[in-house]
Amino acid sequence: MSAVSTIPTRADSYAPGRMKLTRSFVTVVFSTMVLLVACLVFAPSSVSWGALSGSLPFAAIIAIVGLGQLMVVQQGGFDLSLPGAVSLAVVVSTHYPQQNDGLLYQAVLLALAFNLTIGFLNGALVSIFRLNSIIATIGTNALLYATVFAMSGGVPSVTTGLLANIAGGETFGLPNAVYFALGATALVSFMLKKTVGGRRFEAIGASPAAGEAAGLRVRSYQMMAYVYAQLFYCLAGVLIAGITREPTAFQGDSLLLPSVAVVVLGGTSLLGGRGFPISTVLAAFFLNQLSQFALSVGVPYSAQTIIQALALGFGIGVYSLRWSGKVRKQPNNNKWRSRHELCKFEEGPGSLGCDCGHRTGRCGSGKGGDTVLVRAQEGDACPS
């Protein structure tokens, strides 16, 4: 099946060599600049180099877990096993080596094996057995914490010197954790935006039904979202083990709400679809700096959860508003027009969707030759 748009498209938006700034990127950058100005005026100590160098590693941790949560949210789910997954990686990385640098690589591999197993379990429960993602991941989170208690007994352990140097050290004046976060961001951005598999991943998140109609392996993509997420949780846990030196068995508890908040602040819809890794990472810095600003002006640490919840609400509110005051008139003023006004389909192999101009619709071929229209984000290009 091939799709041909009957409404003029904005081809200039996709011209080679032209970079299009997304709404999410502009929003996060503007919000961060406003926050930094407020910090300079009301709490200069929160933007001193000492304060930034101390807080950047934790911003990097939030960014990494945010990238993992991003991939699950893109498939329309939530991964509530994040706290247990991060805590288990922390415990394995500290308790297994017993401060022996020679056993560190074995500990990291063991933590990775645990997280991958949980990732496949989460993915199978959601994609194959069709359980609600919240229910499925809450259950696996309980299993993870049972494993944490079995291994640690709830008692913290000192990390190895090698891991402390790798995760807690600095290179060229920046904490090493920042480089891990930048590397993870580059990897996710490339995979999602520059590969065929990444585009299919986003298309399936926008409409699993259209993906199935196009012959894509929808369940496999949905399962792998949870597996990929666990890889980032494992990385975050190992980094926390090195940064904190003597971490507790509950280090992941404080990361669940921030992981969802940065995804929303980054512009990704909680219903799934297109994701914004770079904006998500910038949102992690914004959220971390917002917490530092609140502490500097005297807000108690116990109110951090409230601040994160307000940031989450802010993100939902901002992206629920329409920015443009000028709306081009279309032949049909209905918010969602019929599929015949959006796209014209022809039989035969072709693309999954099409760009339908100012108001876009994601189209796919249903059973028996019927066409299906589902919601897509404005500006999505027709994949080749």
Query: What residues have CB less than 8 Å from 153, skipping those under 6 apart?
Result: none
Gap between the Cα atoms of 216 and 200, Å rounded: 8
How far CA 56 is from CA of 46, 188, 215, in Å, comes to: 12, 20, 44
At a CB cut-off of 8 Å and minimum separation 6, what does 237 contact? 85, 86, 87, 88, 89, 90, 92, 93, 111, 251, 252
Confidence at residue 192, expressed as pLDDT on a 0 to 100 scale: 95
Q: How far apart are CA 203 and CA 74, in angstroms?
A: 9
Tokens of 170: 């600095």
Indicate the helix (H) or strand (E) that contains 305. helix 304-320
- Helical H runs in 153-248? 161-168, 176-193, 196-206, 208-213, 218-244
Residue of 148, 146, 108, 139 lying closest to 121 (CA atoms): 139
Is residue 349 helix, strand or coil? coil
Q: What tokens does 286 get?
A: 């914004």
Q: Are 276 and 266 in contact (CB under 8 A)?
A: yes
Count CB atoms within 10 A of the CB of residue 91.
Answer: 32
Q: Which residues pair with 5 in a beta bridge?
A: 343
Tell me what pLDDT residue 154 has. 83
- The pLDDT score that the predictor gives to residue 322 is 63
Is the distance from CB of 56 to CB of 175 less than 8 angstroms?
A: yes
Please give the pLDDT value at position 292: 92
Q: Give the whole-angstrom CA distance, residue 265 versus residue 318.
A: 9
The tokens describing 150, both together, are 């079995």
Report the phi/psi class of residue 292: left, alpha or beta, with left for phi > 0 and alpha for psi in -120 to 50. Answer: alpha
Q: Are 156 and 256 in contact (CB under 8 A)?
A: no
Residues of the chain with pLDDT under 50: 1-18, 325-384
Q: Whole-model pTM?
A: 0.80
Q: Which amino acid is at 250?
A: F
**55 vs 144: CA distance, rounded Å:** 28
Distance CA 361, CA 290 (A): 37
Nearest residue to 128 (alpha-carbon basis) of 253, 196, 226, 203: 226
| DSSP string computed for 158-174 | PPPHHHHHHHH-EETTE
List the domains of the chain with CATH numbers. Answer: 25-320 (1.10.3470)
Q: How many residues does the chain have?
A: 384
Chain-centre distance of CA 221, in angstroms?
A: 15
